[in-house]
């Protein structure tokens, strides 16, 4: 078996604002496996300033991993605990290599085009007019779950928008999720959550910065607005540490991004622990290209969950790869009438 890797920079169609700044591009790395005439591909997705493995030696670790690919998936996964995005890329690549179709790594009714996955529509931060434009576009496209980034604009502006949204669309018409990306101050976070709860919000992701377990536990206990942990899961390794965090904080939900928490295996560990503590969960992409998004969507389908997932990011880039993935009326489909580009695996790193 041979392995090599390459970097690929995805360019956003529009600058995308979060509480951590504005994104214009996003970096991914691809692992390509070759054995005989068979090829496999996996995406290692990095998010600047968020991925725990966004370190200077990242490409060196990728090169070492490719050089030692004969050690096998299980051994490499164990050695790469602190590089969750590479773990995820390897899981994909090995499955892709041995699959009948390298882009169908979890065959199911989804990949047969017979079922779909409900997804949320994402609204990015920006001027008020931009928020309204995005909202109208998402609703017109058939989305019935909207996820809105909060925490970067003036709080009163965000509240005004949420009030107007609820005046136009009731909670029965549109499920609304918020994502603060840790932007609220611990001192007034509960007051903000209480104010936001009047708008019948499904949940809010990561209201305060991660690592403040005592404060987060208090918020999860006292807030009338359900809290979902996102960044809090990043960098927590080992079952004991994961168990300790969930036992302490007791969140209403956790959100799983395979690129950030150790791939399918790491995500499955979190799911089992979430069940133990009565926390709900859903899966979200970490802005991967359609290659990584395809793998996440196929795996998600095997989990037999009917809640809205965060997998509607395939159209964000100008230079994404064509794929059978398609969103119609707020549902993600695998269109069997479309094919992946011929020789895509060979050309990704060319």
φ, ψ at 345 (rounded to 5°):
-60, -45
Q: Closest by alpha carbon to 179, among 222, 109, 228? A: 228
In the chain, which ranges are continuous DSSP H helix?
Answer: 58-67, 73-79, 84-98, 128-140, 155-168, 189-196, 213-222, 239-249, 258-261, 263-277, 290-301, 344-348
Query: What's residue 127's pLDDT?
Result: 80
Residue 154's alpha-carbon distances to 21, 60, 87, in angstroms, are 14, 42, 38
* Angle, CA 77 vertex, CA 76 and CA 80 arms, to 5°: 85
Residue 17, token pair as written in the block = 């604002």
Query: What's residue 315's pLDDT?
Result: 85
Query: What's residue 20's pLDDT?
Result: 61
Q: Closest by alpha carbon to 3, among 35, 28, 36? A: 35
pLDDT averaged over 10-residue windows placed end to end, the chain, 350 residues: 96 72 86 97 92 96 98 97 98 98 97 96 84 90 93 87 92 95 95 96 97 98 98 96 98 98 97 98 96 98 94 88 96 96 91
Q: What is the DSSP string of 87-135?
A: HHHHHHHHHHHHSSSTT-SS-STTTTTS--EEBPEEE-B--HHHHHHHH
Catalytic site residue 26? Answer: no
Query: What's residue 76's pLDDT?
Result: 98
Q: Closest by alpha carbon to 349, among 22, 34, 16, 17? A: 34
Q: Residue 192 contacts by C-beta under 8 Å, 6 or more apart in sequence?
A: 155, 184, 207
Whole-prediction pTM: 0.95
Query: What's residue 49's pLDDT?
Result: 83
The single residue of 138, 149, 192, 242 carrying the catalytic annotation is: 149
Domains, in order of start, for the chain: 2-104 (3.30.390.10), 117-334 (3.20.20.120)
pLDDT digit string, tens, across residues 262-273: 999 999 999 999
CA–CA gap between residue 32 and residue 123 (Å, rounded) = 34
pLDDT digit string, tens, across residues 4-37: 999 999 999 877 665 566 778 899 999 999 999 9
φ, ψ at 269 (rounded to 5°):
-60, -45
Residue 70, token pair as written in the block = 């004969």
Contact 131, 158 (CB under 8 A): no
Collapse the DSSP code of 212 into the 3-class scheme (helix H, G, I; strand E, B; otherwise coil) and give the result: coil
CA dihedral of residues 54, 59, 61, 67 (deg, nearest 10):
160
Catalytic site residue 257? Answer: yes
pLDDT digit string, tens, across residues 116-132: 999 999 988 778 888 88
CA 87 to chain CA mean position, Å: 15
Query: What's residue 154's pLDDT?
Result: 86
């Amino acid at each position: 078996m041979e392995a090599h890797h390459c970097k690929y920079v995805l360019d956003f169609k529009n600058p995308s604002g979060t509480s951590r700044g504005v994104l214009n591009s996003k970096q991914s790395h691809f692992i390509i496996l070759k054995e005989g005439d068979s090829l496999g591909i996996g995406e290692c997705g990095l998010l600047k300033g968020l991925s725990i493995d966004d370190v200077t030696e990242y490409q060196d670790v990728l090169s070492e991993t490719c050089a030692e690919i004969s050690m096998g998936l299980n051994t490499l996964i164990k050695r790469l605990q602190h590089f969750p995005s590479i773990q995820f890329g390897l899981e994909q690549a090995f499955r892709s290599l041995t699959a009948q179709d390298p882009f169908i790594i979890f065959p199911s009714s989804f990949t047969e085009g017979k079922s779909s996955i409900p997804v949320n529509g994402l609204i990015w931060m920006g001027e008020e007019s931009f928020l309204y434009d995005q909202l109208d576009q998402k609703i017109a496209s058939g989305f019935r779950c909207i996820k809105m980034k909060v925490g970067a604009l003036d709080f009163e502006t965000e509240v005004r928008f949420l009030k107007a949204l609820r005046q136009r669309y009731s909670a029965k018409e549109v499920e609304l999720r918020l994502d603060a990306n840790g932007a609220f101050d611990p001192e007034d976070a509960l007051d903000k959550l209480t104010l936001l709860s009047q708008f019948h919000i499904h949940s809010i992701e990561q209201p305060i910065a991660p690592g403040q377990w005592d404060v987060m536990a208090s918020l999860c206990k006292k807030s009338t607005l359900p809290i979902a942990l996102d960044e809090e899961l990043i960098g927590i390794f080992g079952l004991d540490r994961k168990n300790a965090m969930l036992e302490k904080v007791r969140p209403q939900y956790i959100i799983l991004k395979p690129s950030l928490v150790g791939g399918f295996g790491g995500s499955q560990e979190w799911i089992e622990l979430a069940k133990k503590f009565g926390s709900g969960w859903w899966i979200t992409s970490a802005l991967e290209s359609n290659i990584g998004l395809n793998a996440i969507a196929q795996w998600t389908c095997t989990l037999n969950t009917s809640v809205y997932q965060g997998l509607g990011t395939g159209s964000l880039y100008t230079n994404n790869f064509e794929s059978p993935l398609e969103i119609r009326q707020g549902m993600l489909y695998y269109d069997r009438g479309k094919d992946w580009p011929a020789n895509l695996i060979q050309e990704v790193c060319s």
